[in-house]
């Protein structure tokens, strides 16, 4: 198994772990990404509305793929509790560990926002990275779970960005 979790969980300083935990709590149930989309749509004009719509669409698709499909077919157990030297390990979900849905949503949102509004995408990258690190540090995931979630997020963001172009070039035909 992937023992990188044990190393990450034991090496993150307590202060940094608290910050990571606060960012992850804000991102729980996609609250952070919905709030960011709201601010973008409210204050960002047409570019902000495009970025917000792309980000929320990407979150929905990434969540469906990671939690609705991948977790259902993999059934990977969470990292052993004995590897995690702190109490956060007691708060982790009972669902499959693979992939990290939190990471998928965070990276999907960030990756979908970036082409429409690069500055907002760069700002979102900081909490997105924090979410991925926190999911491993807390003992909820193996590093490979977070990496798979990031891959799902990036792929989703790319598809959201490319879908209009792909549909114009290859529209669905009836025959």
- On whether residue 174 sits in a domain, the answer given is no
- Judge whether 99 lies within some domain: yes
173 in any annotated domain = no
Q: Is the pLDDT of residue 2 over 80?
A: no
Residue 19 CB neighbours (<10 A): 13
Of residues 36, 32, 25, 35, the one with CA closest to residue 120: 36
- The reported pLDDT for the residue numbered 94 is 78
Q: How many domains does the chain fold into?
A: 1
Specify if 157 maps to a domain. Answer: yes
Rounded average pLDDT over 41-60: 96
* Tens of pLDDT, residues 69-115: 999 999 898 887 777 665 665 666 778 889 999 999 999 999 999 99
- From CA 22, how far away is CA 158, in angstroms rounded? 28
pLDDT of residue 68: 93
Q: Evaluate the CA torsion angle 140, 146, 148, 149 in order and state its sign.
A: positive
Determine how many CB atoms are found less than 10 A away from the CB of residue 38: 13
With 0-12 / 13-18 / 19 or more C-beta atoms within 10 angstroms meaning exposed / middle / buried, residue 14 is: exposed
pLDDT by residue (tens digit) across 125-144? 999 999 999 888 888 889 99
Average of pLDDT values for 12-36?
72
Is residue 146 domain-resident?
yes
pTM equals 0.82
Q: For 106-136, give the DSSP string.
A: HHHHHHHHHHH-HHHHHHHHHHHHHHHHHHH
Is residue 162 one of the residues assigned to a domain? yes
The residue ranking higher by pLDDT, 68 or 86, is 68
In this prediction, residue 1 carries a pLDDT of: 44
Task: Say what the pLDDT of residue 26 is.
Answer: 65
Range of the domain at 69: 4-168
**Residues present in the chain in total:** 175
The two tokens of residue 16 are 């940094």
Helix (H) or strand (E) holding 9: helix 4-11
Please compute the mean of the pLDDT values over residues 5-14 and round it to a whole number: 54
Instruction: Return the pLDDT at 82.
Output: 73
């Amino acid at each position: 198994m992937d023992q990188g979790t044990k190393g990450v969980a034991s090496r993150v300083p307590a202060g940094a772990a608290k910050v990571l935990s606060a960012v992850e709590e804000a991102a729980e149930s996609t609250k952070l990404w919905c709030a960011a989309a709201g601010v973008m749509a409210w204050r960002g004009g047409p570019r902000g509305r495009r970025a917000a719509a792309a980000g929320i669409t990407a979150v929905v698709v990434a969540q469906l793929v990671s939690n609705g499909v991948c977790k259902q077919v993999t059934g990977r157990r969470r990292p052993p509790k004995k590897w995690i030297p702190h109490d956060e390990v007691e708060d982790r979900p009972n669902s499959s560990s693979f992939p990290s849905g939190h990471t998928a949503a965070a990276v999907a949102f960030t990756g979908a926002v970036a082409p429409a509004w690069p500055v907002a995408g760069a700002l979102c990258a900081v909490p997105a990275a924090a979410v991925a690190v926190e999911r491993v540090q807390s003992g909820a995931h193996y590093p490979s779970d977070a990496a798979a979630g990031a891959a799902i997020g990036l792929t989703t963001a790319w598809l959201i960005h490319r879908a209009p172009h792909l549909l114009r070039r290859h529209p669905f035909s009836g025959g």
